[in-house]
C-alpha cells in the first residue's frame, strides 16, 4: 500500500511541474515571469486534470476542458482517495509512471518518499511488552521492571506483598492475574494496572497466576517464574499456570515476567530470559557414610543426607547436553589431607572411599565456552552450620579448619549473569589464626604506648595516665592492651607483666572444646553456659576431667603463646598481651557462625564484668572476667567490644584482691575514648 501511495504522489507532483512549465510557454509576452493571471492558471490546471484509472498505470494526457470546475473535481477526487487510505480502504494506485525526458524530482518529493516508505516508523506501531512492579517487605513499591527483568530481591529474605502488571504496545492484548496471599489464599483476578496482594498488612505472596486477554491473546504467550523461600528460582510457567507454592508457608521473593510471540524462542532457565540451542544438565552422586554411593541426582537436587550426621566421603559430577564446547572440573578438601592437589574432570571420583574421611569443602568450575555462557552454582550442608550460601565458578564452598563434615550438596547451572539461586552470603567458613603482627609490635614498658601507626593525642594520653594513676594507688598494679581489629592500631600499658589469669581462662576453654569436639555442645550445654555466665568452677572441673588440657593448649598455639602450668592446673598466669591474643582467636572463631556463634552468645554482657558497667549501655560486649582474693590476687576482664565505629579487643589485668573492679572503670572509659580517636 505504501509503495502505490508513494508512486501516486510522485506522479501528481510531476504532473503539476509539467503544467507550470507549459503555462510558462503559453502565457502572452506581455506577462512577465511570476505574473500568470488567475484565469490563465485555472485554465491551465483544468486542461491537465488527472483522475485515477482502473488500471495499474496512470498516464496523464491533455484533454480539452471547457470549465474550471473540472480541475476542482479532480482535486476533490484526490482528497477523497487520501481520506480512504487513512481510513484503511484499499485503493488501486499506480505502480509506474513514464517521466518526461530530463525531468528532475523536486526535493520535497524525495523527502516525502523517505517518510512514507517506512510504515513501521509511524506512531502507534510499537511491539507489545510487559511491565510490572512489586511491593517488597521493608522497601515498599519498587521501580518498574520490564520484559524478563527481575522485580523483588534474592538473598535478603524479603517477601513480596503485592504486584501490578500492565502491557504496552499496539497489539490488542490485555492481562489478568491473581495471587495466593498468606492467610487469605487465592485473591480475585484483577486487570492490568491493578494491585493484587496487600499493602500494610505484612502478608506474603505465596503464588501467582497470569494470563492474557484480548483479540491477539492467541498470538502470544505470557511466561513467568518466581524466586521462592528455601527453593530459590523455580521453573518458568505460562498462560495461567501456578508459579510458587500453596500450603507450605513459603514467601515469594522475586519474579520475572516475559511476553513471547508464538513460535519465538522461550526462556529456559529460571530467573533469566536467555534461551540456548540446548539446555545442559549437571548430574552428580555422592558417597555417604553408611550408605556408600547414593543415587544420581541433577540440577539443584540435594545429594546426601540431612539430620542423620552422615559425612560425605566422595563425589562424581558430570555435564550432560552441553550446547557449547567445554566440560566441568571439581576438587575436594578432605579430612587430614586438605585440598586435593589437582582438579578432577567430569566423571572422575573426588575424595576417598573406605578411609572414613569426611569431605569438608568443594570447588567446582566450568571450562572453555561453557564457562563463557554459564555459571555453575553449588552449596553445602555442613555439620553444625546447616545450609551455607551459594558459591560459584571455582569458589570455595564448605569449611576449612573446623573439622566439620559436609552432609549434603546441591549443584545447578545458570546462564551467565542470571541471578543466583539463593543467598551467596557465607558460602565458606574458615577458622584460621589471626594476624598478630600489629599486637606484637606494641611495647611492653610501664608507660603508655600507641602502636600500629596510631598517634595518641596529648589530651587523651593525659586522661589515660590519670586513670592509671588512680587505679594503681598503693602497691596495686595494672596492665592492659586495646587494639582496633580492623586497623591493628591501639594503645598499651605494661602489656607483658604476668598476672594470675583466674577464670578468664574459661572464655577460651569452652570454645576450644566445642571446636575440637562439636558434639560436646549438646551433651554439656548447661554446664558450659554455667561456666561462662556464673563462672561455675564445679562444671569447669567436670569438663576438664572429660576433655583434658588439649583443647586449650591448641587454642593457645593458635594465639602464638604457651600457658604456664595449664597441663596440670585449671588456671594459669599470663600477660595482658597474651590475653588479648587469645581473644583475637575467639573473634576469628565466632565469625564462623553456627555453634561458634552460640558460644559467643553465652558471653554477651555478663554481670561479673569490668567492661559491662562502663560500656554495656552503648555497645554489645562479648567478655569473661576472672577474680581471686587469696592467696593469688587478681581482678581481670577481657573481650570484644562491638563499638559503632568498629570492634576492638580489650584486655585489662590487675593484682586487685578480687571484686575491686570499680577502681578500673576509669581505664576502660579512657580506652574507649582512645578507640574513638582511631581513624579520625
Q: Which residue has the higher pLDDT, 180 or 400?
A: 180
Q: What is the C-alpha separation between 467 and 259, in angstroms, rounded? A: 72
Q: How far apart are the C-alpha atoms of 582 and 537, rounded to whole Å?
A: 20
What was the pLDDT predicted at 660? 65
- Distance between CA atoms of residues 648 and 468, nearest Å: 20
pLDDT in tens, 413-467: 998 878 888 889 889 988 877 889 999 999 888 999 999 999 999 999 999 999 9
Tens-digit pLDDT profile for residues 268-306: 777 777 776 678 999 999 999 999 999 999 999 999 999
Which residue(s) pair with 414 in the sheet? 375
Give me the mean pLDDT over the 489-493 stretch.
95
Q: How confident is the model over 507-525, as a mean pLDDT?
A: 92
Query: Residue 188, CB half-sphere, CA atoms under 13 Å: how many?
Result: 4
Kindly report, residue by residue over 184-208, the tens digit of the pLDDT. Answer: 999 999 999 999 999 999 999 999 9
The percent of residues in the chain predicted with pLDDT above 90, rounded, is: 62
Whether 120 has a pLDDT exceeding 90, the answer reads no
**What is the mean pLDDT of the segment spanning 375-395?**
94
Looking at residue 640, its pLDDT comes to 96
Question: How far is 512 from 589, CA to CA, in rounded Å?
Answer: 9
**Closest CA relative to residue 336, chosen from 385, 287, 397, 400:** 400
Share of the chain residues as helix, strand and coil, in percent rounded to the nearest 5: 30, 30, 45
Indicate whether this model's pTM tops 0.85: no
When the pLDDT of each residue in the chain is averaged and rounded to a whole number, the result is 83
Question: For residues 127 and 440, which has the higher predicted lDDT (pLDDT)?
Answer: 440
Q: How confident is the model at residue 82 (pLDDT cuts 50, 70, 90)?
A: very low
pLDDT tens column, 601-614: 999 977 778 899 89
- In CATH, which of 3.40.710.10, 3.40.1170.60, 3.20.20.80, 3.30.450.80 is domain 451-677? 3.40.710.10
pLDDT band at 3 (very low <50, low <70, confident <90, very high): low
Q: How far is CA 489 from CA 375, 440, 581, 676, in A?
A: 41, 11, 14, 11
pLDDT of residue 401: 82
Nearest-angstrom CA–CA distance, 330 and 332: 7
- pLDDT, position 87: 42
Nearest CA among 612, 587, 590, 609 for reference residue 599: 590
pLDDT digits (tens, 9 = 90+) for 202-257: 999 999 999 999 999 999 999 999 999 988 888 899 999 999 999 999 999 999 99
Helix (H), strand (E), coil (C) string for 305-374:
CCCCCCCEEEEEEEEECCCCCCCEEEEEEECCCEECCCCEECCCCEECCCCCCCEEEEEEEECHHHHHHE
Is pLDDT above 60 for 627? yes
pLDDT cut 70: percent of the chain above it: 80
Highest mean pLDDT among 51-60, 339-348, 603-612: 339-348
CB 637 within 8 A of CB 622: no
The domain locations on the chain are 2-121, 129-261, 281-430, 451-677
Cross-strand partners of 636: 626
Comparing 97 with 579, the larger pLDDT belongs to: 579
Residues 400 and 370 sit within 8 Å (Cβ to Cβ): no
* Lowest mean pLDDT segment, chosen from 1-15, 42-56, 163-177: 42-56
Q: Please tell me the predicted confidence (pLDDT) of residue 210.
A: 97
Amino acid at each position: 500500500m505504501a509503495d502505490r501511495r508513494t508512486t501516486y504522489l510522485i506522479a501528481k507532483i510531476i504532473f503539476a511541474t509539467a503544467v507550470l512549465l507549459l503555462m510558462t510557454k503559453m502565457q502572452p509576452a506581455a506577462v512577465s515571469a511570476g505574473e500568470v493571471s488567475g484565469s490563465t492558471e485555472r485554465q491551465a490546471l483544468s486542461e491537465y486534470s488527472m483522475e485515477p484509472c482502473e488500471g495499474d498505470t496512470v498516464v496523464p494526457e491533455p484533454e480539452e476542458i471547457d470549465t474550471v470546475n473540472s480541475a476542482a473535481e479532480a482535486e476533490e477526487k484526490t482528497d477523497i482517495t487520501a481520506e480512504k487510505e487513512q481510513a484503511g480502504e484499499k485503493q488501486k494506485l499506480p505502480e509506474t509512471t513514464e517521466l518526461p525526458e530530463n525531468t528532475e524530482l523536486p526535493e520535497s518529493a524525495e523527502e516525502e518518499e523517505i517518510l512514507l516508505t517506512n510504515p513501521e516508523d509511524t506512531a502507534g506501531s510499537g511491539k507489545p511488552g510487559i511491565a510490572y512492579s512489586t511491593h517488597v517487605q521493608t522497601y515498599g513499591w519498587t521501580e518498574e521492571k520490564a520484559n524478563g527483568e527481575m522485580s523483588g530481591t534474592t538473598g535478603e529474605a524479603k517477601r513480596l506483598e503485592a504486584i501490578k502488571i500492565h502491557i504496552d504496545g499496539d497489539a490488542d492484548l490485555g492481562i489478568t492475574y491473581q495471587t495466593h496471599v498468606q492467610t487469605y489464599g487465592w485473591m480475585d483476578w484483577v486487570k492490568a494496572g491493578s494491585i493484587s496482594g496487600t499493602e500494610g498488612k505484612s502478608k506474603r505472596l505465596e503464588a501467582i497466576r497470569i494470563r492474557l486477554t484480548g483479540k491477539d491473546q492467541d498470538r502470544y504467550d505470557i511466561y513467568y517464574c518466581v524466586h521462592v523461600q528455601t527453593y530459590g528460582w523455580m521453573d518458568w510457567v505460562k498462560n495461567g499456570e501456578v508459579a510458587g507454592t500453596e500450603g507450605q508457608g513459603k514467601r515469594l521473593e522475586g519474579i520475572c515476567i516475559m511476553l513471547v510471540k508464538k513460535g519465538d524462542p522461550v526462556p529456559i532457565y529460571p530467573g533469566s530470559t536467555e534461551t540456548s540451542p540446548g539446555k545442559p544438565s549437571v548430574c552428580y552422586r555422592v558417597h555417604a557414610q553408611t550408605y556408600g554411593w547414593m543415587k544420581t541426582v541433577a540440577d539443584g537436587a540435594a545429594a546426601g543426607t540431612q539430620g542423620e550426621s552422615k559425612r560425605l566421603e566422595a563425589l562424581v559430577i558430570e555435564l550432560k547436553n552441553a550446547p557449547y564446547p567445554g566440560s566441568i572440573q571439581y576438587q575436594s578438601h578432605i579430612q587430614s589431607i586438605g585440598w586435593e592437589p589437582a582438579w578432577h574432570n567430569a566423571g572422575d571420583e573426588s575424595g576417598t572411599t573406605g578411609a572414613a574421611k569426611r569431605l569438608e569443602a568443594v570447588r567446582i568450575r566450568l571450562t572453555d565456552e561453557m564457562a563463557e555462557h554459564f555459571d555453575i552454582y553449588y552449596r553445602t550442608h555442613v555439620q553444625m552450620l546447616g545450609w551455607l550460601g551459594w558459591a560459584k565458578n571455582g569458589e570455595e564452598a564448605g569449611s576449612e579448619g573446623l573439622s566439620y563434615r559436609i552432609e549434603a550438596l546441591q549443584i545447578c547451572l545458570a546462564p551467565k549473569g542470571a541471578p543466583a539461586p539463593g543467598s551467596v552470603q557465607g558460602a565458606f567458613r574458615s577458622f584460621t589464626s589471626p594476624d598478630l603482627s600489629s599486637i606484637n609490635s606494641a611495647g611492653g614498658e610501664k608507660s603508655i604506648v600507641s602502636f600500629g601507626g596510631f598517634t595518641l593525642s596529648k589530651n587523651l594520653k593525659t586522661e589515660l595516665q590519670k586513670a592509671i594513676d588512680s587505679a594503681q594507688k598503693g602497691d596495686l598494679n595494672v596492665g592492659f592492651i586495646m587494639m582496633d581489629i580492623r586497623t591493628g592500631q591501639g594503645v598499651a600499658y605494661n602489656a607483658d607483666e604476668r598476672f594470675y589469669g583466674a577464670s578468664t581462662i574459661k572464655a577460651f576453654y569452652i570454645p576450644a572444646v566445642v571446636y575440637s569436639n562439636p558434639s560436646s555442645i549438646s551433651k554439656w550445654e548447661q554446664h558450659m553456659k554455667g561456666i561462662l555466665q556464673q563462672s561455675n568452677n564445679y562444671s569447669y572441673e567436670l569438663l576438664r576431667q572429660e576433655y583434658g588440657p588439649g583443647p586449650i593448649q591448641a587454642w593457645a598455639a593458635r594465639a602464638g603463646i604457651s600457658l604456664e602450668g595449664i597441663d596440670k592446673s585449671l588456671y594459669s598466669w599470663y600477660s595482658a598481651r597474651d590475653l588479648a591474643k587469645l581473644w583475637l582467636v575467639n573473634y576469628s572463631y565466632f565469625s564462623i557462625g553456627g555453634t561458634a556463634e552460640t558460644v559467643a552468645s553465652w558471653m554477651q554482657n555478663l554481670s561479673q564484668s569490668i567492661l559491662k558497667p562502663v560500656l554495656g549501655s552503648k555497645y554489645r560486649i562479648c567478655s569473661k572476667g576472672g577474680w581471686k582474693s587469696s592467696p593469688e590476687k587478681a581482678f581481670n576482664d577481657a573481650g570484644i567490644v562491638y563499638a559503632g565505629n568498629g570492634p576492638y579487643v580489650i584486655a585489662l589485668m590487675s593484682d586487685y584482691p578480687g571484686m575491686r573492679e570499680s577502681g578500673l572503670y576509669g581505664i576502660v572509659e579512657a580506652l574507649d575514648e582512645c578507640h574513638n580517636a582511631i581513624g579520625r
